[in-house]
Structure 1
């Protein structure tokens, strides 16, 4: 049996990054490059032909996690929904999954603050770029329902993202809003009841 063809440089780099992320989450920055090599299915020396150092690899993993391209693509590819509430619920689910993955990485980095903090602070501009990119993707996803939204779509997108982030944060999450569909209904319908709804509730 012949040897498998070597991966192209970009694919090899991404394979190593993908193999490193769960090790970082599990062990903080205490993971070893030997562990990365085993997880990625490459020789340990290959890692240092792609990355100059372990710190260089760590920086690449963080940059990859903050890159909004994958999340934005998934937001724009959200399956069609018949209702605005259904679309918002799907978007909240995607945003919470992404927030959970980033929170796990941040928690792992906080295990060793001396290594993690400078890198984390250094990526503040990436956070700003990410926020704008995700907002634009949310606007595109909401566009089919534009006539049903009474506020500008950028504002609606900002509210959805803020609510998803807050409700997905471990210190802020409320069990009453755990279900994305429930949170979506609150966002879409608000907390204000109409006189007709109030009268119907009293009649019941």
Structure 2
């Protein structure tokens, strides 16, 4: 007989089940079983149904967890700001690649056509913009573009470069993304306008 799981408040139990289910959903998709989830969470299978009405509700909670922007924003705000522009921007790109790769994998395994409906949050967008400005402010004199534009290019490349369906399986690394954004692909800048 397995040891009884520690008593948790309902919200804590729910979070623990979702955390345990996440890697299983990424591996098995909708075919994941409540028996697998219970074993991973260290609880009896019946405990799941005290928190979630059905297994599909567990999977939907996992989807919402993966698409939740709050953990990403907290990671962005806590990102190490030390080092060169390349080093800081590479950390941002890696954070974005990791997030997008996780999202794409979940969407693929579950056959999702897009993200779940969520309330658009101006607060999230403002926090992301503030974090981006803070990360790039020390390097403003090294940039020809506003920080907002630099981050937009990083995000676009991280999004497309981390999607194996777009990259033909050749995923872009964070360093490659940063090199493309900061240096481009041209060997040298052509003369312009009477240079």
Residues 113-166 of structure 1: per-residue CA shift (max 9 Å, x gap): xxx56xx56x2446x549836842434432332343332322222111111111
Q: 1:34 to 1:92 in 2, by over 3 A?
A: same
- With normalisation by structure 1, the TM-score equals 0.77
CA contact (8 A) 1:24 1:31 kept: yes
- SS of the equivalent of 2:155 reads helix
Q: Which moved more, 1:98-107 or 1:134-143?
A: 134-143
C-alpha distance in structure 2 between counterparts of 1:188 and 1:59, whole Å: 39
User: Which blocks of at least 5 consecutive residues in structure 1 are unaligned?
Assistant: 111-115, 197-204
Cα distance in 2 between the residues matched to 1:45 and 1:97: 33
Q: Does the CA contact (< 8 Å) of 2:25 and 2:32 recur in 1? A: yes
Match of 2:54 in 1: 53
Distance 1:151 1:195 in 2: 18
State the shift of 1:39 in Å: 0.8
Partner in structure 1 of residue 63 of structure 2: 62
Counterpart of 2:33 in structure 1 is 32
Alignment of 1:148-159 (within 5 A): 148-159=142-153
The equivalent of 2:72 in structure 1 is 71
Deviation of the 1:175 alpha carbon: 8.4
Bigger proportion of residues as helix: 1
Instruction: Give the number of aligned pairs.
Output: 186
Equivalent of residue 141 in structure 1, options 123, 135, 138: 135
Contact 1:167 1:174 in 2 (8 A): no
For structure 1, which segment, 143-152 or 18-27, has the greater mean C-alpha deviation from structure 2 after superposition?
143-152
Q: CA deviation at 1:178?
A: 3.3
Q: TM-score, normalised by structure 2?
A: 0.80
Relative to structure 1, the CA distance from residue 64 to residue 4 in structure 2 (aligned partners, 3 Å threshold; closer, same or farther) is: closer
Runs of 4+ in 1 over 4 A off after TM superposition: 2-5, 128-131, 174-177
Higher relative contact order (CA 8 A, sep 6+): 1
Contact 1:26/1:108, CA 8 A, preserved across alignment: yes
Considering only aligned residues, what root-mean-square deviation do their CA atoms show, in Å? 3.0
Distance 1:7 1:140, change over 3 A: farther
**1:170 and 2:137 are equivalent in the alignment:** no
